[in-house]
Amino acid sequence: MRILISNDDGYLAPGLSALADALSAIADIVVFAPDSNRSGASNSLSLDRPLSVQRAANGFHFVNGTPTDCVHIALTMMDAPPDLVVSGINNGQNMGDDTLYSGTVAAATEAYLYGIPAIAFSQVNPGWAHIDAAARVAREIVERRFDKLDLPFLFNVNIPNLPFEQIGPLTPSRLGRRHQAEPVIRSQDPRGREIFWIGAPGACRDAGEGTDFHATAQGCVSITPLQVDLTHKTQLELLRGIV
């Protein structure tokens, strides 16, 4: 098995090396990751400047671009497509509405758009606590192969920050929902100019049973199959009736 690994926290992130270490035991791995933290980059491509690929001492490739750039370049440069693309392990959860902003999910989505199965992995809490346990969980998920599913698949996985023995079972979940994000934080730079920081994500609005929020709150590993079609099919039918 050949696996392409990316992330959005950058090529130096502990979650990336933990994932690469865990998967190198069961597959040939290739790593293409951003040269800096690009969390929140979503599915953006860099079209306003050239990109370059460099290679770190540990063999990881790093790119001065977004997670989507990394996977896009890697899939174009590799002589044969990988069997699987994985992203992460992200420094914090990507659940509910987070998935739209996430660079971790975006890296996996780019592979999915190329027809390659892909899995995005995130730890529920930032800070890398129990990252080795999360990497072991990720390896076990990859080893399942999911042969019975239609290819390609796009999975969003969130893993609680717990010791391996305390992590609950893999739990198929739907995305929950969040309230709208907290307001921007208004501040001043040292020269007295007004600046803004993007605020925190909103609190959970739908964290009920069956959601990713609910599964991980129970200590389980949430796995959500994603799709890319944004069409609102009910409204499309209604629109056809009135236009």
Q: Please tell me whether residue 239 adopts helix, strand or coil conformation.
A: helix
Under the binding rule (CB under 5 A), the answer on residue 98 touching Mn ion is no
- Least separation in angstroms between residue 183's CB and Mn ion is 22
Which tokens sit at 205?
A: 């609005």
Under the binding rule (CB under 5 A), the answer on residue 8 touching Mn ion is yes
Which tokens sit at 212?
A: 């990713």
Q: 13 vs 74, which CB is nearer to Mn ion?
A: 13
Q: 154 vs 168, which CB is nearer to Mn ion?
A: 154
Q: Which of 175, 187, 167, 151 is nearest to 223 (CA)?
A: 175
Element (H, E) at 72: helix 67-77
- 39-58: contacts with Mn ion (CB under 5 A): 39
Q: What share of the chain is helix, strand, coil (3-state, %, to 5)?
A: 30, 25, 45
- Least separation in angstroms between residue 208's CB and Mn ion is 26
Element (H, E) at 185: strand 185-188
Q: 9 vs 97, which CB is nearer to Mn ion?
A: 9
- With CB under 5 A as the contact rule, which of the stretches 37-45, 160-168, 171-179, 206-214 interacts with Mn ion? 37-45
- With CB under 5 A as the contact rule, which of the stretches 24-32, 49-57, 58-66, 85-93 interacts with Mn ion? 85-93
Binds Mn ion (CB under 5 A): choice among 90, 109, 156, 211: 90
Round to whole Å and give the CA distance between 210 and 216.
11
Under the binding rule (CB under 5 A), the answer on residue 222 touching Mn ion is no
8 annotated to bind ligand: yes
39 annotated to bind ligand: yes
Q: Are 175 and 151 in contact (CB under 8 A)?
A: no
Round to whole Å and give the CA distance between 173 and 216.
10
Extract the annotated binding site.
8-9, 39, 90
Using CB under 5 A as the criterion, which residues of the chain lie in contact with Mn ion when the complex forms? 8-9, 39, 90
